[in-house]
Amino acid sequence: AEMKDLSVEDKVTVKSKHLDVLSEYKKSTRKRSANFVVIGHVDAGKSTLMGRLLADQGAIDQRTLDRYRREAEKIGKGSFALAWVLDQGSEERARGVTIDIATNQFETEKTAFTIVDAPGHRDFVPNMIAGASQADFAVLVIDSSVGKFESGLKGQTKEHALLVRSMGVQKIVVAVNKMDTVQWDHGRFEEIEQQISAFLTAAGFQQNNISFVPCSGVLGDNISRRTENPHASWYTGRTLIEELETSEPYTHALEKPLRMTIGDVFRGGVQNPLSISGRIDAGSLQMGDQILTLPSGETATVRSLEVDGEPSDWAVAGQNVVLNIANIDPIHLRSGDVVCRPSSPISTISSFTAKVLAFEHLMPMQVDVHRGRLHVPGRISKLVASLDKSSGAVIKKRPKIVGPGVVVRVVVEMDQAVPLEAPTRIVLRAGGSTVAAGLLE
Ligand code: GDP
């Protein structure tokens, strides 16, 4: 079908049910949504572990799983079958296997989980930034096998953990994986627990927001079911899935004005010619609502919506939604744009102060500002002060330059005005690498 120009006569009218969304939410039995990001060293077993979770929770059917297994065995990579369950992007799929069903969502009795950054993408850091900025919590996968743990700690593990913490992720679940390779040695687990604990608290995580689960992704031990291995009888704590269930959402801002960042824009559907997807950061909305999209400043009408893939009349903060919208020209919509209400818009700004963790040397310099999938060129115009990682107290005012690992308050100016408001997770990149990440104040 051809897209027609919007004219007044074509305006779609949508009847609102005028629901009191918050009371609908309170009485609903809808599962809560939780997003998490998976971090850890390459080969720690992230994909396998997530594949196991998806398979165990029935997010993927046995026939498909069997097919992956056969295909994986055919090319001599039997153990990779589980990892293929994840939606890993075309690069992973190009390794000789066709995957037609892949997902990053699974459900438990109480919660609809979304893995916001499927591990395995080559272009990892930008993906992780988009993921981390939507995460309620992080799952850190550690390879417990001898030698691997030690080298992993020096590598990406540290960088990823610091990145998610500096972006405001408060809770972290540590999967001490591949315990089968160390015969479920209790001492080994304790040693890892101690070292990771020390490192995570130094990175600014609070002790009571860190938990550890000894597990084996490949065998499925302590993932969705408790291991029956007699060597593991010392562990009486939660399985990984039980641990995920205890995590609180990052934001509860249901009563605040509507805020949603557009993840993707879809056009051309027969029933729904134009849709946007994303997670509601704050507030709520319902069918028939008028929304304002920024920075375009154009309004649109919500024709219908879906929450976690199910049709719904309303949605609240924390939920992943698809909004089918009308009365707007799609050229005004881009991923990274923000949706709010005409009555309480986000102001667009061209400079801000942020508390960031430096990954490289920072000084007044050119940077790209990333927020979710939005990015704009700009520059760090001033280093205000270096700060203590956990207390936030000022260590040094007006430093000329700070090194990697330092938390610093900076003033950033952008080449164009964009809709931004605190608290927002942002990342600063320069020359293709992440130089800092943190929270806009
Ligand atoms: P990723 O790079 O972190 O996503 O790691 P993968 O999931 O691709 O796993 C890397 C390798 O470790 C693969 O050969 C897996 O089969 C293997 N592996 C993953 N989990 C386990 C585990 O629990 N035990 C053992 N022994 N091997 C595992």
At residue 250, the pLDDT reads: 58
Q: Give the lowest-confidence range in 57-61, 123-127, 377-381, 411-415.
A: 123-127
Atom of ligand 1 nearest to the CA of 120: 4
Residue closest via CA to ligand 1's atom 17 equals: 45
- How far, in Å, from the CA of 436 to the mean position of ligand 1? 30
Q: What is the mean pLDDT of residues 254-265?
A: 90
Q: What is the pLDDT of residue 154?
A: 63
pLDDT at 88 over 70: no
ipTM of this predicted structure: 0.99
Whether the CB of 46 sits within 6 Å of ligand 1: yes
Check residue 155 and give its pLDDT: 65
Which atom in ligand 1 lies closest to the alpha carbon of residue 41?
3
Q: Is residue 413 scored above 90 in pLDDT? A: yes
Q: Does residue 230 or residue 347 have the better pLDDT?
A: 230
Closest-CA residue, ligand 1 atom 14, reads: 79
Query: What residues are paired with 120 via a beta bridge?
Result: none
Q: What is the pLDDT of residue 268?
A: 78
Q: Residue 126: pLDDT above 80?
A: no
What pLDDT band is residue 124 in, cutting at 50, 70 and 90? Answer: low
Q: Is the CB of 88 under 6 A from ligand 1?
A: no
As a whole number of angstroms, the distance between CA 17 and CA 346 comes to 26
State residue 264's pLDDT score.
Answer: 85
Tell me the pTM: 0.79
Section 235-249 average pLDDT: 90
pLDDT of residue 203: 81
| Cβ atoms of residues 427 and 395 within 8 Å | no
Q: How many CB atoms lie within 10 A of CB 132?
A: 27
> What is the spatial distance between Cα 215 and Cα 144, in angstroms, rounded to a whole number?
10
Res 157: pLDDT: 76
Q: Is 177 in the pocket of ligand 1 (CB under 6 A)?
A: yes
For residue 307, pLDDT beyond 80: yes
Cα torsion 127, 129, 130, 136 to 10°: value is 120
For range 170-184, the mean pLDDT = 95
Question: Ligand 1 in contact with 47 (CB < 6 A)?
Answer: yes
Cα of 48 from ligand 1 centre, angstroms: 6
Q: What is the pLDDT of residue 77?
A: 57
Mean pLDDT on 333-342 = 91
Question: Model confidence at 40, in pLDDT bands (50, 70, 90)?
Answer: confident
> Does position 136 have pLDDT exceeding 50, yes or no?
yes
pLDDT of residue 1: 43
Mean pLDDT (the chain) is 84
pLDDT band at 87 (very low <50, low <70, confident <90, very high): very low
What per-residue confidence (pLDDT) applies to 93?
43
